[in-house]
Amino acid sequence: MAKRYGFYIDQENCIGCFTCQIACKDKNDLPDGVLWRKVYEFSGGTTIEENGVFKSNVFAYWLSMACNHCENAKCVTGCPTGAMHYANDGTVQHDPDLCIGCQYCRMNCPYDAPKFMEDKNIISKCDACIDLREAGKNPACVDACLMRVLEFGPIDELRAKYGSNANVKGLPSSDITKPSLVINPHKAAIK
């Protein structure tokens, strides 16, 4: 089996600063409404005032998501044209020339990674900065991260280093697509 690459997210220490999202946006020159990497806020619990004092069990955490370059990428198997495909390094890549804009990949990806570009009428998505990696660099989001909670690398190595968890509250089960993703969950996000 070919080597697979993926992201590690230390969600426990992510402050939701959006720097990865903006670095991606700038590097890939994405139009408004299109985010290849997107930071989500999750919060819950209650904060109430009772008998004049505050009681709270609130929690909040962040999740930075891009394409997880899944082992069982449903966007790839579902794509009728072959536009969505595996590259030699196991990352999932998208060929704009083959894309007919059917958006079936958007119905297949549980991580909302493929985005429809209204100006081009086709899909686009995170390519894990294939250009930078070919030049021996990290993806833009990784080198942008202020808290150093994003890494990219061979997923086997990331799993050896950080374990194999890819499930947190708010994400679908990793059984669906086997994402090349490792997450150190925030304490409130542990599934």
Pairing verdict, β 38-44 and 5-10: unpaired
Q: Which of residues 123-162 bind another protein (CB under 8 A)?
A: 123-125, 127, 130-132, 135, 140, 143-148
Q: Is 108 in the site for another protein (CB under 8 A)?
A: yes
Between 40 and 156, whose beta carbon lies closer to another protein? 40
C-alpha 157/C-alpha 110 separation (Å) is 24
Amino acid at 100: I
Q: Is 47 in the site for another protein (CB under 8 A)?
A: yes
Q: Which of residues 12-41 bind another protein (CB under 8 A)?
A: 12-19, 21-23, 25-35, 38-40
Structure tokens at 117: 């570009």
Work out the burial of residue 106: count CB atoms within 10 Å of its CB; fewer than 13 is exposed, 13-18 middle, 19 or more buried: middle
Binding-site member from 122, 155, 166, 182 for another protein (CB under 8 A)? 122
Work out the burial of residue 134: count CB atoms within 10 Å of its CB; fewer than 13 is exposed, 13-18 middle, 19 or more buried: exposed
Structure tokens at 35: 């985010």
Binding-site member from 71, 86, 89, 103 for another protein (CB under 8 A)? 103
Binding-site member from 78, 157, 159, 165 for another protein (CB under 8 A)? 78
Amino acid at 141: C
Binding-site member from 37, 61, 64, 179 for another protein (CB under 8 A)? 61
Q: Is 100 in the site for another protein (CB under 8 A)?
A: yes
